[in-house]
Structure 1
Amino acid sequence: MTIEANKQQMHRFTEFINTASVKLAEELIAPDAIFYVPAREDAMKGPDGYLAIIQMMRTGFPDIQWTLKEMVAEGDKVAARFIMRGTHQGSFFGFPPTGKTIEVQAMNFYRFSDGQIVEEYGQPDMLGLLQQIGAVPSS
């Protein structure tokens, strides 16, 4: 696939993470894809693994939405910067709901093969998120 095609897939991927569509997951994510997630020793795998990541976020922030702010692509890789916004309405990493809103950046790197994501290194600003819900002091 071309660089432009991979960038188009990133826009569709953003639709997927905002809807948690199983159909889009199966279309956009390779069955053997690997996702490296902060605070997890083992990588998540395949469409089901990514749906589990989204479910974990939605448990704490049921209204969470990701906005793709920018991306850079080269060869089979895409670097993307997202803004995540949501309301802390459920338990998240053991912290009870506060009703506070969050606005957090994430920097992720993706590798594509045949139009599907085969690897992601995700790095959301977890410190900023935990500070915004009051789980960690701001300074």
Structure 2
Amino acid sequence: MEDSKRLMQRFVEFINTASEKLAEELISPKAIFHVPGRPEPVTGPAGYLEIIGMMRGGFPDIQWTLEETITEGGNVAARFTMRGTHQGSFFGVPPTGKKIAVQAMNFYHWSNGQIVGERGQPDLLGLLQQIGAAPM
């Protein structure tokens, strides 16, 4: 359990910095990531950096806070809060300058100290509402 906590702390450091070095350390080259809104998963460290790049394209200052985790063997359920400022186009919505605070639930599969899979579910409706792209 302590290993899982330590690995998740390193993972949060990775997603908040988009460090290629940490990506190589923490993500298996064969890892599979299921991304909402995409028909096919992305893979490996480059795939995860692509996900982060998509978020940073709309919210360059985005930061993730790990709120809680539940661990069972090599599986971790994690609840995050994403915070940032809408300064770039996101899902076709031009920048509004509005701040967001959005919850996300992600499920990770770890093996030998690396992520081998993730299914994530951010509150995209809440995010779109906060930037004025969807009705409240």
* TM-score clears 0.5: yes
Question: Once the 2 structures are TM-superposed, how far is the Cα of residue 8 of structure 1 from its aligned partner?
Answer: 1.1
Q: Does 1:25 align with 2:31?
A: no
Question: Once the 2 structures are TM-superposed, how far is the Cα of residue 70 of structure 1 from its aligned partner?
Answer: 0.6
Q: Pick from 25, 34, 37 the counterpart of residue 36 of structure 1.
A: 34
- The structure whose RCO (Cα within 8 Å, separation 6+) is larger is 1
Count of equivalent residues: 136
Q: Distance in 1 between matches of 2:129 and 2:42?
A: 26
RMSD after superposition: 0.5
User: 1:62 aligns to what SS in structure 2?
Assistant: coil
Question: Once the 2 structures are TM-superposed, how far is the Cα of residue 18 of structure 1 from its aligned partner?
Answer: 0.1
The residue type equivalent to 1:63 in the other structure is D
Please give the per-residue CA displacement for 1:45-77, whole angstroms capped at 9, x wherever unaligned. Answer: 000000000000000000000000110100110
**TM-score between the two structures when normalised by the length of structure 2:** 0.99
The residue type equivalent to 2:58 in the other structure is G
Q: Distance in 2 between matches of 1:28 and 1:57?
A: 19
Q: Could you tell me the percent identity over the aligned residues? A: 71
Gaps of 5+ in 2: none
**TM-score between the two structures when normalised by the length of structure 1:** 0.97
Q: Pick from 87, 91, 94 the counterpart of residue 93 of structure 1.
A: 91
Gaps of 5+ in 1: none
Please give the per-residue CA displacement for 1:66-118, whole angstroms capped at 9, x wherever unaligned. Answer: 00011010011000000000000000011100000000000000000000000
1:73-112 matches, within 5 Å, as 73-112=71-110
